[in-house]
Chain A
Amino acid sequence: MSEKGERIICRCNEVTLEEIEALIEQGVTDIEMIKRLLRIGMGPCQGRTCLPMVISIIARKTGKSPDEIKLPATRIPIRPVPAGVLVGDMNEE
C-alpha cells in the first residue's frame, strides 16, 4: 500500500488497483487495451511484476478463467540495456 492507501499493481508506472478496476468497470476488459491505456507492463520490468496480478484482477472482475487471458507480447531486451553497450561505444569515455 502507498502512503495514500492506494494499492500499487504496476510499480514501474505507478498504476493502482483502483485504476485498473475502474477501467474494467467502464467496460475495458481486454488486457491489450488495459495495458496501453494504463501503461501496465510497459516499464523497465517488462510486466514481470504486474501482468500476473492484472490477469487475476481481470479474471475476478469479469468471471473469466485466468487461463483464457493471454499474456501480452514480451518485448526484448528482457532486461534494460544502455544504448551505448549495444553499439559497442561505452569504453571511449
Chain B
Amino acid sequence: MKSKAEVVVIGGGSTGTSIAYHLAKLGADVVLVEKGYLGNGSTFRCATGIRQQFTDEANIKLQKYNVERWKKLSEELEYDVNFKQTGYLFLATTEEEVEAFKQNIKLHNKFGVPTRLITPEEAKEIVPLLNADEFLAGQWNPTDGKANPFKTVFAFARKAKELGAEIYEYTEVTDIIVENNEVKGVKTNRGTINADVVVNAANAWAPIINEMAGLDKEFIPIKPYKHQLVKTEPLKEGQIEPLVCPPAWNDSYVIQDGEDGGVLCGTGLEHGPTYDVTPTYDFLREVLKWATRIIPALKYVHILRQWAGFYAKTPDSNPAIGKINYIDGFYIAAGFSGHGFMMAPGVGEAMAELIVKGKTHVPLDWEWYDPHRFERGELRSTAFQIG
C-alpha cells in the first residue's frame, strides 16, 4: 500500500469513485480507500434512477448537467454503464397535485428540462400496463433515465486506476491525521497514508469520519435511514420503462431494470436512523400493496429478491458538498439522501476541479450545498426524494 498521496478519498461508492476518477483525470496522485467492496454501502442498493425533476433551482441545474454527463459516460469511461433515457412519470391523484405539477413543470422548463403535463391516456401509452383510471394527470419528462449502478462504479474505478489512481478495498479508515488545523493524512487498518487533501465521501458513515478529524459528529448531521426494494422476475422490455410514481401513494414507485427487465418496487416506508440492513416483512406487504395498484398485472409476477440500503439523510435532504473551513485540505461530498448515484458524475467532476483548480465549471451551487449550513441552522428547501 502507498504511504503517500496528494489526495485520499474515503468511500468507494458512486461519489467516491467518481471523485477519484476525475482527480486522476486532472493529473492528481489519488488513493481511494473503501472499508468493504466498492459500492457496498448505498450505490449497489439503489433503484438505478436518474432524474432532473426536482423542485428547486440548484438540484434541477445540477441534474440537467448530470444527464448530459450520463449520456456520454459509457463512451468516456470506455465501459457500457447502461444509461437509458426512459423518463420519469409522476402521477397525480388530486386537483391540488395537478396544480403542484404545473408549478414544477414551469420551473423545470425555465431551466431547459422538457417536463410536460400529460393525460392519463398518454401515460398509458408510455406505460401500457398502468392502472391509468386512478390518476388525473402525469408529470412526464422523457429525458430522465436510469443506469446500472454496478457497472458505473466499476467503470469509474477501472478508469481511475488506468489513469494512475490506487484503490484499496477492504481498507478501513481508523483515524484522520490533523495537525494545526491542517489535514496530514489518514490511518487505516492496513497502514498510514500521508496526504495534504482528504475527501470524505463516506455518505452514511461520513459523520464517523468527521469525528475522526476532530469535528463534532452533529456538525453535518447525516443519519442513515433504511430504505428497501423488491425486484421481480424479468418482464418483456418496454412494459414499465420509466420510473412511475404517484407521490400520494406513500411515495411508491416502480421501474423496470434497464438491463434484465425485472421490476424494482419501492415505497416511502423507512426505518431508522439505523445501520441495520435486514429486510423486513412490513416493507414487503406495503410496497406490493402500492405496486400492484399502480400496475395490477404485477400480481401475477414473481418476486425474486428483497434487500435494504440507506438514504443517508441530512435535515433538508440536500447533500453536503464542499470544503470544510475548520480544517485545511478537508473536503466532503456526503449525505446524498437517496440522490448520490444520479448526481455522481457531475459531483465528482466539481469536487475534483475544486480541489485541483480551486473552482469548477460544473453548474453546482456551492452555497446551496454548503456543509456549514447546518451549524448555522440555515436549511435549504427540502429536496424532493424518490427513486
Contact A32 B40 (CB under 8 A): yes
Contact B260 A83 (CB under 8 A): no
Contact A39 B260 (CB under 8 A): yes
Contacts A44-B302, A80-B304 given; does A30 touch B289 at CB 8 Å: no
Contacts A33-B38, A36-B44 given; does A81 touch B303 at CB 8 Å: yes
Contact A86 B307 (CB under 8 A): no
Contact B289 A82 (CB under 8 A): no
Contact B303 A86 (CB under 8 A): yes
Partner of B292, one of A42, A77, A87: A87
B interface: dominant SS: mixed
Contact A87 B302 (CB under 8 A): no
Enumerate chain B residues within 8 angstroms of A87, measured Cβ to Cβ. Answer: 285, 288-289, 292, 299
Contacts A32-B37, A75-B306, A80-B233 given; does A37 touch B151 at CB 8 Å: yes
Q: Does A1 contact B (CB under 8 A)?
A: no
Q: Does B268 contact A (CB under 8 A)?
A: no
Enumerate chain A residues within 8 angstroms of B288, measured Cβ to Cβ. Answer: 83, 86-87
Interface 0/1 of A6-31, CB less than 8 Å to B: 00000001000000000000001010
Q: Does B253 contact A (CB under 8 A)?
A: no
Contact A77 B303 (CB under 8 A): yes
Contact A13 B289 (CB under 8 A): no
Contact A81 B306 (CB under 8 A): no
Interface 0/1 of A61-93, CB less than 8 Å to B: 000000000000101110011111011011000
Enumerate chain B residues within 8 angstroms of A30, measured Cβ to Cβ. Answer: 37, 169
Interface size on A, residues (CB 8 A): 25
Q: Which residue of A lies closest to B40 (CB)?
A: A32
Task: Give the shortest distance, in Å, between A88 (CB) and chain B (any CB).
Answer: 9
A87 to B169, CA, bound (A): 40
What number of residue pairs across chains A and B have CB atoms under 8 A from each other?
77
Contacts A75-B305, A76-B279 given; does A84 touch B292 at CB 8 Å: yes
Contacts A80-B233, A83-B299, A87-B285 given; does A43 touch B291 at CB 8 Å: no
A83 to B298, CA, bound (A): 7
Task: Give the shortest distance, in Å, between B52 (CB) and chain A (any CB).
Answer: 26
Q: Does B150 contact A (CB under 8 A)?
A: yes
Contact A75 B307 (CB under 8 A): yes
Contact B306 A83 (CB under 8 A): no
Contacts A42-B305, A82-B303 given; does A36 touch B150 at CB 8 Å: yes
A32 to B37, CA, bound (A): 7
Q: Which residue of A lies closest to B260 (CB)?
A: A39
Enumerate chain A residues within 8 angstroms of B83, measured Cβ to Cβ. Answer: none
Q: Which residue of A lies closest to B149 (CB)?
A: A36
Interface 0/1 of B2-30, CB less than 8 Å to A: 00000000000000000000000000000
Contact A86 B285 (CB under 8 A): yes
Contacts A80-B233, A81-B302, A83-B288 given; does A13 touch B154 at CB 8 Å: no
Contact A33 B154 (CB under 8 A): yes
- Centre residue among B44, B260, B299 by max chain A CB count within 10 A: B299
Contact B284 A44 (CB under 8 A): no
Contact B306 A77 (CB under 8 A): yes
A42 to B289, CA, bound (A): 24
A80 to B233, CA, bound (A): 8
A75 to B305, CA, bound (A): 6
Within 8 A of A (CB), among B257-308: 259-260, 279, 284-285, 288-289, 291-292, 298-307
Contact B306 A76 (CB under 8 A): yes
Enumerate chain A residues within 8 angstroms of B285, measured Cβ to Cβ. Answer: 86-87
Partner of A43, one of B37, B232, B304: B304
Interface contacts beyond A37-B150, A77-B304, A80-B304: sample of 6 additional A-B pairs, CB < 8 Å, sorted by A:
A32-B37, A32-B40, A43-B304, A44-B302, A75-B279, A89-B299
For the complex of A and B, 10 pairs with smallest distance between CB atoms? A84-B299, A36-B150, A80-B302, A75-B305, A32-B37, A87-B288, A83-B288, A83-B298, A86-B288, A87-B289
